[in-house]
């Protein structure tokens, strides 16, 4: 194929797929009276589709579509002229003038110069002629052709037309060939309808022509298809001589078949193949799914809705048969339920879901998809209904866990299989999903209470042999008491609180018995006098009447007084509640202020109040107005349906790891968030700033895209809550240094919010770290974590002192505490290596000294001088022997943090002593020993790959960009959600790779593994380049077209912020807003974004209706619009 921009304009080439070998009749021109009826679709015969498609030849003709017209002799070429189409009189006069000029000019060479042919020496025509005889198969036109006659005129965005170039004929470009080509093109300039496929219509437009488009989509069109065998078998001629006479080449049997079949033939053939496959292999889930997916392809070819409905029913029957033969396959059940959803009946869909979930109540995948499906249904969504669905899911999964737990407890010794662990992990994920839902719907106190209740119920339950019912009754006593819960100041845990309460009760009993003993024994009954009896009865009656009045009359009087006061204040403002209950707000800015107040209250009111005291522990005093907000009090009945017991350590730690962002799977769970975590946002900003510094264009600020992201991690109360919760959870996981590091970071944030960071000479977490070290002086990793926080704060000397003191005291520790020594050495070496980049010349010698002590296994001594060659050789041999032990443990599938730290330390030692290549070889050897499937689910292997990338990035000048890019691309295949890989790709590779190639790589990766992380880094790259609107719109639309990303609140908020704040297109932002609330109706923050950003384009009536919809969906609204009106009136006064 060749483009008209590359081929001569006068080429009389045939169409690629000719309709008929007979010439098509020329349409009769309309009479002058009906000249406005120029569209040939009005007179077309629709029955011509079958006739046209049936007349398609099966082979490509050698001659063009003008071969039926006799070519004029060459001698008379100058006297024969082709007539051009006349559109109007003015064009006719212009055409005659051009003809007279051409006759006067004369000469073939002048004609070529006029048409742009002769003036190009060594240009396109010479390449075409050489391709005729020199064996070239194609040619390139590297020069612009501003008067390319192949277009005829500018048409359809200057899209070039492609035709089959007959390279077997020898021709010369002439004026006659150009005129014939021009005459054929003129008809294609008309707007042809899809139905205009009459044979009288002549059009050479192949890709946009209505005629050819209809023919291409017609079901009777025969297409050439090459059948290639699935596996080509190589024939060994020495051992076997085939009897077949088929041609072979290099020992390959060519079984390729060329057949012609229409769409109907393909449907019949594939249906037959699927029927045979499912009949012979009824247990093949993949075959049934492919058969069902093929029905979607068939339905897409049907123009009638009735035909598509019939195919949908056929697909449902196929999947029902598959489920009948494979009742326990979750993929088949999900495909069947998705097909049911295509019917459009919500009630029937819910009924089918309930029937399937009753038969598969232990399936985590089905329950997760069910809750997500109900969440996405805007028409039936309500907060109370969604809670009920979550309650059913948690109760079913909890009952399944209890059954499995009884099974492995009955074994001797007690065993715990992986299925039970996976079930408990899925149960924890379901609870976390519920907490996210409650938080985003505005019920933040309930979300926090659910999290507190489950941690207390699972991690700190009393060590008593109780049934589940008795355990819940005992927990109800704890929950309704005034005792502090996890995260609150002074919290002890449920079991410790129960022990302390029991001690106090026993002490009170002893005190009462002691008082009775001191007061003497019983002296007998005595009778009251009549006067004393009457006095006692009158006092009891008075107390009873006063209590009744206080409980009944007083609240009514207070409420009535409160109502009267509110009505009086509103009447002062000119609002009569009796006359008009719903006052229309005529100023849109009032709704913006209401949204701001609602957002502020959401950020402040997140901690639940206790039922008895009406206050929360460890926070500021709560005034009388807040005490009256009973909605902030979370009762036991609100959380009793969602608490469950956990037995596996993996599930318990998964629950605790959601407290902070230090979870290894945090980047994968970012899909359910409304805003970016602080650490991820800082990474994106660093990458964006780095790209802007290296770019010549003015990039768009990243803050404009996330102006509404409120950083809750900076708030003192939130950080204090996280610190206290993590410290309490350390009792259940005393040796986990990840939680200790998270506690220190939370302490830093809570302290630094109160004052400026420059006011601290030491790190803000120093006091907490010393307090933790006093409780366990043998905790090496806690000392290392504290030293790293000192280094991050800039106190490198203090960090060295902590490291040196800890490593020097290793010999005095017990043997079981020495397994984490490589982690401590590696942290120390990383800190020194980071100081080397800041200009410390002695850092390299310090690193070698540290690694020499680790490799040789000698006692640590503080740095004095550079290690000698003999010491380095001994360290090399020592690392070699230690890595043998690690290799053996990894072969059995046992991974530890200490082994990963030892491998990284050995690689760093080889890198500094023998060169960059030696260090890379150490890492490559261990990465190659683990299978990709095992590597994909291992946090240790991901850390090792990140370190491998860090080493290559540090020496990218020596390694080359090709090695760095291949490392990143390979890593993204295994870990598609790794932020460090994206950060390296944009930070380093963007300076050495063409932007279009980088965009193609990002688009290809997103198409294979769509994720929010990939999209955010792609947006960061585009914003740094100036923010091409079409490109950014394409990124957002492609991401939101993915089913799993369509319900991402973060993406919708980011998209709307881009249109409203960056582009300034409020109309587009309004359209996106309505799409967003329809896709994510549970997100209160998403609803409030519309009130904040779109109050300039939405009318007050529309904003009022939106608030009514929010109330109808049962979102938690804390502010009444009349409060804003009252506050505004008071401000004016």
3-state secondary structure 521-580: CCCCCCCCCHHHHHHHHHHHHHHHHHHHHHHHHHHHHHHHHHHHHHHHHHHHCCCCCCCC
Residues 734-743 have pLDDT tens digits of 888 899 999 9
| Best CA proximity match to 1031, nearest among 994, 1063, 989, 987 | 1063
Per-residue pLDDT tens over the stretch 778-823: 888 999 999 999 998 888 889 999 999 999 888 887 777 788 899 9
pLDDT confidence bin for 848, thresholds 50/70/90: very high
pLDDT tens, position by position, 622-653: 444 544 567 789 999 999 999 999 988 999 99
3-state secondary structure of 2: strand
Q: Average the pLDDT over 421-436 and give the result.
A: 92
What mean pLDDT is reported for the chain?
A: 75
Which pLDDT band, with edges at 50, 70 and 90, does 702 fall under?
confident
- How far is the C-alpha of 151 from the C-alpha of 407, rounded, in Å? 78
Name the more confident of 539 and 932.
Answer: 932
Structure confidence at residue 174 as a pLDDT band (50, 70, 90): very low
Confidence bin at 437 (pLDDT 50/70/90) = very high
Q: Tell me how far apart the alpha carbons of residues 52 and 71 are, in angstroms, rounded to a whole number.
A: 27
pLDDT at 308 over 70: yes
* Whether the predicted pLDDT of 655 surpasses 80: yes
Q: Report pLDDT for 932.
A: 74
What's the whole-number mean pLDDT along residues 24-40? 42
Judge whether 655 and 469 are in contact, CB under 8 Å.
Answer: no
Chain segment 1036-1065, per-residue pLDDT in tens: 999 999 988 999 999 999 999 999 988 889
Tell me the mean pLDDT in the region 364-376: 92
pLDDT at 819: 84
- Tell me: pLDDT of 1110 over 90: yes
Across 971-988, average pLDDT: 88
Residue with the bigger pLDDT between 753 and 589: it is 589
- Res 252: pLDDT: 38
What are 599-608's pLDDT values in tens digits?
998 888 889 9
pLDDT score at 436: 92
DSSP state of 362: T
Q: Which helix (H) or strand (E) holds 252?
A: strand 252-253
| More confident site: 902 or 11 | 902
pLDDT digits (tens, 9 = 90+) for 675-692: 777 777 777 878 877 787
Percent of the chain beyond pLDDT 70?
A: 65
What is the reported pLDDT for 114?
A: 38
Residue 802's pLDDT is what? 92
Query: What HEC string does 335-349 produce?
Result: HHHHHHHCCCCHHHH
Judged by average pLDDT, the poorest of 167-171, 845-849, 916-920 is 167-171
Name which of 1013, 975, 949, 958 is nearest 687 in CA terms.
1013
Tell me what pLDDT residue 782 has.
92
Reported as a single tens digit per residue, the pLDDT across 906-955 is 999 999 999 889 999 999 999 888 877 777 778 889 899 999 999 998 88
Predicted local distance difference test score (pLDDT) of residue 567: 58
pLDDT of residue 30: 45
Asked if residues 1004 and 985 have their Cβ atoms less than 8 Å apart, the reply is: no
Q: Is the pLDDT of residue 199 over 50?
A: no
Alpha helices in 281-329 (DSSP H): 285-300, 305-325
117 burial (CB, 10 Å; 0-12 / 13-18 / 19+) is buried
Alpha-carbon span 317 to 278, nearest angstrom: 14
Rg, C-alpha atoms of the chain: 40
Confidence (pLDDT) at 877? 92
Decide: 263 and 221 in contact? Cβ < 8 Å.
yes
pLDDT for residue 446 = 94
Kindly state the tokens that stand for 1096: 């300039």
- Pick from 517-526, 886-895, 1011-1020, 1060-1069: least confident: 517-526
Is the distance from CB of 1101 to CB of 427 less than 8 angstroms?
no
pLDDT at 401 over 80: yes
Rounded (5°) CA angle 1089-1094-1100: 110
pLDDT band at residue 103 using 50, 70 and 90 as cut-offs: low
């Amino acid at each position: 194929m060749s483009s008209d921009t590359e081929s001569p304009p006068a080429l009389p080439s045939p169409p690629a797929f000719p309709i008929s070998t007979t010439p098509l009749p020329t349409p009769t021109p309309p009479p002058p009276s009906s000249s406005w009826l120029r569209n040939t679709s009005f007179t077309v015969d629709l029955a011509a589709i079958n006739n046209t498609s049936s007349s398609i030849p099966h082979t490509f003709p050698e001659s063009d579509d003008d071969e039926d017209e006799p070519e004029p002799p060459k001698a008379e070429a100058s006297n024969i002229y082709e007539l051009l189409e006349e559109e109007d009189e003015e064009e006719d006069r212009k055409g005659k003038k051009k003809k007279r000029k051409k006759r006067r000019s004369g000469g073939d060479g002048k004609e070529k110069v006029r048409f742009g042919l002769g003036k190009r020496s060594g240009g396109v025509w010479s390449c075409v002629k050489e391709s005729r005889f020199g064996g070239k198969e194609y040619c390139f036109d590297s020069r612009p052709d501003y008067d390319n006659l192949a277009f005829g005129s500018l048409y359809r965005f200057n899209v070039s037309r492609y035709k089959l170039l007959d390279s077997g004929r020898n021709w010369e470009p002439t004026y006659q060939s150009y005129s014939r080509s021009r005459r054929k093109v003129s008809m294609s300039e008309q707007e042809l309808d899809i139905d205009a496929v009459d044979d009288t219509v002549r059009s050479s437009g192949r890709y946009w022509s209505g005629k050819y488009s209809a023919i291409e989509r017609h079901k009777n069109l025969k297409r050439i298809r090459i059948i290639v065998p699935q596996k080509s078998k190589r024939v060994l001629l020495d051992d076997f001589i085939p009897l077949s006479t088929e041609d072979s080449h290099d020992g390959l049997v060519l079984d390729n078949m060329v057949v012609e079949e229409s769409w109907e033939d393909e449907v019949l053939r594939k249906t037959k193949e699927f029927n045979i496959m499912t009949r012979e292999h009824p247990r093949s889930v993949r075959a049934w799914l492919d058969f069902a997916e093929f029905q979607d392809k068939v339905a897409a070819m049907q123009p009638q809705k009735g035909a598509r409905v019939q195919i949908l029913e056929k697909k449902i029957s196929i999947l029902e048969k598959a489920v009948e033969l494979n009742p326990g396959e979750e993929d088949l059940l999900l495909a069947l339920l998705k097909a049911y959803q295509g019917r459009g009946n919500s009630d029937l869909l819910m009924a089918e879901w309930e029937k399937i979930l009753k038969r598969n109540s232990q399936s985590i995948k089905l329950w997760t998809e069910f809750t997500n499906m109900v969440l996405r249904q805007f028409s039936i969504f309500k907060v109370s209904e969604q809670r009920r669905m979550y309650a059913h899911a948690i109760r079913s999964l909890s009952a399944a866990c209890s059954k499995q737990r009884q099974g492995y407890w009955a074994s001797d010794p007690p065993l715990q299989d992986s299925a039970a662990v996976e079930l408990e992990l899925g149960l924890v994920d379901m609870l976390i999903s519920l907490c996210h839902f409650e938080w985003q719907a505005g019920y933040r106190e309930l979300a926090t209470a659910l999290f507190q209740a489950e941690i207390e119920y699972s991690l700190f339950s009393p060590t008593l042999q109780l049934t589940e019912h008795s355990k819940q009754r005992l927990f109800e006593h704890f929950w309704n008491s005034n005792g502090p819960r996890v995260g609150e100041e002074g919290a002890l845990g449920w079991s410790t609180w129960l022990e302390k309460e029991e001690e106090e009760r026993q002490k009170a009993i002893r005190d009462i018995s002691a008082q009775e003993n001191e007061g003497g024994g019983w002296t007998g009954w005595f009778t009251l006098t009549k006067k004393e009896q009457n006095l006692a009865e009158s006092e009891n009656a008075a107390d009873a009447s006063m209590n009744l009045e206080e409980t009944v009359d007083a609240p009514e009087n207070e409420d009535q007084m409160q109502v009267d006061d509110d009505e009086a204040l509103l009447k002062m403002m000119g609002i009569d509640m009796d006359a008009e209950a719903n006052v229309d707000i005529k100023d849109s800015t009032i709704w913006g202020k209401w949204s701001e107040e609602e957002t502020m209250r959401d950020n402040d009111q997140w901690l639940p109040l206790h039922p008895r005291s009406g206050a929360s522990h460890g926070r500021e005093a709560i005034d009388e107005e807040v005490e009256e907000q009973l909605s902030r009090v979370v009762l036991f009945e609100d959380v009793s349906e969602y608490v469950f017991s956990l037995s596996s350590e993996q599930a318990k730690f998964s629950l605790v790891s959601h407290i902070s962002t230090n979870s290894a799977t945090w980047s994968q769970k970012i899909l359910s968030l409304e805003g970016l975590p602080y650490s991820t946002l800082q990474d994106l900003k660093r990458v964006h700033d780095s790209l802007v510094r290296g770019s010549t264009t003015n990039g768009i600020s990243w803050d404009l895209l996330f102006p509404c992201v409120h950083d809750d991690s900076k708030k003192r109360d939130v950080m204090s809550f996280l610190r206290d919760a993590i410290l309490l959870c350390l009792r259940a996981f005393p040796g986990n240094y990840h939680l200790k590091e998270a506690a220190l970071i939370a302490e830093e944030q809570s302290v630094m919010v109160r004052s400026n960071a420059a006011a601290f000479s030491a790190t803000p977490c120093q006091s907490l770290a010393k307090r933790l070290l006093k409780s366990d002086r043998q905790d090496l990793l806690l000392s290392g974590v504290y030293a790293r926080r000192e280094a991050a704060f800039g106190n490198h000397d203090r960090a060295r002192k902590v490291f040196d003191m800890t490593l020097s005291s290793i010999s005095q520790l017990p043997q079981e505490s020495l397994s984490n020594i490589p982690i401590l050495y590696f942290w120390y070496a990383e800190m020194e290596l980071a100081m080397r980049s800041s200009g410390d010349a002695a850092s390299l010698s310090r690193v070698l000294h540290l690694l020499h002590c680790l490799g040789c296994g000698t006692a640590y001594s503080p740095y004095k001088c550079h290690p000698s060659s003999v010491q380095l050789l001994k360290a090399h041999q020592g690392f070699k022997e230690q890595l043998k032990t690690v290799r053996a443990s990894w072969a059995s599938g046992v991974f530890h943090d200490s082994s990963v730290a030892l491998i990284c330390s050995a690689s760093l030692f080889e890198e500094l002593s023998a060169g960059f290549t030696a260090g890379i070889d150490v890492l490559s050897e261990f990465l190659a020993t683990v299978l990709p499937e095992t590597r994909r689910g291992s946090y240790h292997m991901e850390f090792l790959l990140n370190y491998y990338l860090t080493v290559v990035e540090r020496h990218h000048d020596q390694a080359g960009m090709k090695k760095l890019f291949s490392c990143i691309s390979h890593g993204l295949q295994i870990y598609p959600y790794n932020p460090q890989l994206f950060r390296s790709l944009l930070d380093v590779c963007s300076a050495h790779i063409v932007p279009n190639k980088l965009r193609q790589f990002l688009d290809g990766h997103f198409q294979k593994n769509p994720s929010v992380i990939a999209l955010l880094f792609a947006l960061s790259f585009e914003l740094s380049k100036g923010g091409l609107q079409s490109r950014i719109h394409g990124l957002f639309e492609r991401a939101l077209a993915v089913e799993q990303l369509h319900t991402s609140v973060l993406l919708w908020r980011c998209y709307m912020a881009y249109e409203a704040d960056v582009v300034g297109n409020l109309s587009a932002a309004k359209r996106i807003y309505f799409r967003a609330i329809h896709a994510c109706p549970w997100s209160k923050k998403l609803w409030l974004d519309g009130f904040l950003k779109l109050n300039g384009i939405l009318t007050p009536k529309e904003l009022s209706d939106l608030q009514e919809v929010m109330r109808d969906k049962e979102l938690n609204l804390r502010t009444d619009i009349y409060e804003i009106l009252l506050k505004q009136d008071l401000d004016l006064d």
